[in-house]
Amino acid sequence: MNALFPPMSGERDRKTVAPGAVHVPNWLTLEQQSWLADRFREWTRGPVPLRAAKVRGHEMSVRTVCLGWHWQPYKYTRDATDVNGARVLPFPDWMTRLGRGALRATGHAAADSYVPDTALANYYDEAARLGMHQDKDEISRAPVVSLSIGDSCTFRFGNTENRGKPYTDVCLGSGDLFVFGGPARLAYHGVTRVHPGTAPEGCGVDSGRINITMRTTGLEG
Ligand SMILES: O=C(O)CCC(=O)C(=O)O
Ligand SMILES: [Fe+2]
């Protein structure tokens, strides 16, 4: 790339990992990252605390706090009935705007009519992993928008058939955007490892990794 003509904002190197799945490195500025990290810490103060969801009796190593709708394995509820029964915080308007911007940046259609209504905010310490899974507890098949802050990780993005190959390993760094929709919406994906000590100065996270995914549940009420 010619150093005189770096990419202008909005056209930074974006990479299509699979049809419908796009990675945009450094989409968020450091200031935006640290602001989001502050919001994340606010959300963890309640009314529903950060918790490790239990899947078939086993606690996940990733800990999650939700907005809009509370995700528990296989369903969404308004109240965190598997934690303390409290209603989750509302889904903020600024996050809808952020989600629409993310769809525009990744060339997804109908960005301006995107209406995400839940966000899962995950925290990974250096030992946390997330097994290969599909995001399919939503009725809607609108795209999933994912934002990462803090330590980088190896994100494995696979196929829609099974947990195995073919898949692509992507390094998701602080500030990166990843969107999957359309033919990639039900692709299996997971986090195989977090890379300690890689969070950039000023991102608002000293150690570990925050990941925020927004989705449209398709639920009413
Ligand atoms: O942490 C990530 O990058 C992915 C999170 C994820 O797949 C999920 O929350 O369903
Ligand atoms: Fe997921």
**Residue 189 alpha carbon, nearest atom of ligand 1:** 7
- According to the model, what pLDDT value does residue 3 have? 78
Phi, psi of 181 (to 5 degrees): -150, -170
Nearest residue by C-alpha to atom 1 in ligand 1: 211
| CA–CA dist 6, 4 (Å, integer) | 6
Ligand 1 centroid to Cα of residue 116, in Å, is 16
- Average model confidence (pLDDT) across the chain: 95
Between CA 207 and CA 188 the distance in angstroms is 27
186 band by pLDDT with thresholds 50, 70 and 90: very high
Give the percent of the chain with pLDDT over 70. Answer: 96
State the pLDDT confidence band at 12, using cuts at 50, 70 and 90: low
**Residue 1 banded pLDDT, cuts 50, 70, 90:** low
Mutate which of 17, 61, 133, 191 for ligand 1? The one with the most ligand atoms within 8 Å of its CB, which is 191
- The number of the ligand nearest the C-alpha atom of 123 reads 1
Whether 10 shows a pLDDT value over 60: the answer reads no
DSSP state of 183: G
Q: What is the Å distance from ligand 2's center to 8 Cα? A: 30
| Architecture of the structural domain at 15-215 | Sandwich (2.60)
Report ipTM (2 d.p.). 0.99
Ligand 1 neighbourhood includes 105 CB (under 6 angstroms):
no
Give the pLDDT confidence of 27-86 residue by residue, as tens digits: 999 999 999 999 999 999 999 999 999 999 999 999 999 999 999 999 999 999 999 999
- Ligand 1 atom having least distance to the Cα of 120: 9
CA pair distance 14, 10, nearest whole angstrom: 9
| pLDDT tens, residue by residue, 103-130 | 999 999 899 999 999 999 999 999 999 9
Mean pLDDT of 186-210: 98
Q: What is the pLDDT of residue 8?
A: 59
CA–centroid distance, 2 to ligand 2, in Å, is: 37
Q: Spell out the domain ranges in the chain.
A: 15-215
Q: Which H or E element spans position 81?
A: none
Q: What is the pTM for the complete model shown?
A: 0.95
pLDDT of residue 71: 98
Cβ pair 150, 210 in contact under 8 A: yes
Give me ligand 1 centre to Cα 41, in Å: 18
Residue nearest to ligand 1 atom 3, measured at CA: 211
For ligand 2, the distance from its centroid to the CA atom of residue 191, given in whole angstroms, is 9
